[in-house]
Structure 1
């Protein structure tokens, strides 16, 4: 390898390291929301992030002015969607225990749309294009997810003050 190639690879490595230092935490949080894991116990989110960052690094020299964060986020979202929809929640996304993150009650599609739209601020049109859905469908999924998060299902009925159940 010539000296110019070595220094170019070193520069590429430094640029990518700086990108990961600045964006890695936010991307990990997005992945954690997608997998419905808790921040302290998120192995599937970490694997999802590692794959997205590896693909972004492989594409690094071809970005040509494109935002690397946007590229990494797209890789994260498409990998999540691929596994969620193709494997019907198997493997990467289906935990051995019940997920307990804040979005655990949502379907993978609802989590993906909600995270892209609200946490990442991706426009409806861009989200629709990324997921191959119509903007109306993205809007409907997002509204359903917001409703589910803001209005959780009712818990058990509270005991009526002072009345005890009588067993027969």
Structure 2
């Protein structure tokens, strides 16, 4: 009898988590793709981040107790990205993201703040708490990242070579 209840509880847990994944995985993958600045059709790092975030959320599923599982997954996704960017590039240095990604011109920290604030709609204070930054710093980073995305630096073409005759 106890075993039957455990099996039923386990089956319910799996069904609930599958329903959550069906509803949230697409948006979480898009968030991860924006963070990694990969192209949407070629995003292995984003898929890895999503897999880790979903695994973490599933491991905590029974302990969420009223918490929003999407918030839990997004928080893990953001902190995992921040940690990997820190270790890979040192203090959120400039990464070499896929140049086709829409946010490729931003640093990892700028991408993280911009995605949390503008794409996911996380409040400035919550973003600051999640990243361990003052709210003013989050505000400044978000403003700078928004300006960079809205007004990208023009790529200059190399100056023409003078004195050389083009072959006929």
Fold in common (TM above 0.5): yes
CA RMSD of aligned residues (A): 2.1
5+ residue gaps, structure 2: none
Q: What is the deviation of 1:6?
A: 0.5
Corresponding pairs, count? 159
TM-score between the two structures when normalised by the length of structure 1: 0.88
Q: What is the deviation of 1:88?
A: 1.4
Match of 1:104 in 2: 104
5+ residue gaps, structure 1: none
Structure 1 window deviating more from structure 2 (125-134 vs 148-157): it is 148-157
Given that 2:37 and 2:98 are in contact with CA atoms closer than 8 Å, whether structure 1 keeps it comes out as: no
- Superposed, 1:70-89 pairs within 5 Å as 70-88=71-89
1:88-107: CA deviation from partner (whole Å, max 9, x where unpaired): 17xxxx66x74420000100
Partners of 2:139 and 2:51 in 1: CA distance: 30
TM-score between the two structures when normalised by the length of structure 2: 0.88
Q: What is the deviation of 1:166?
A: 5.5
Match of 1:113 in 2: 113
Structure 1 residue ranges, 4+ long, deviating more than 4 angstroms after superposition = none
Partners of 1:138 and 1:15 in 2: CA distance: 35
Match of 1:143 in 2: 143
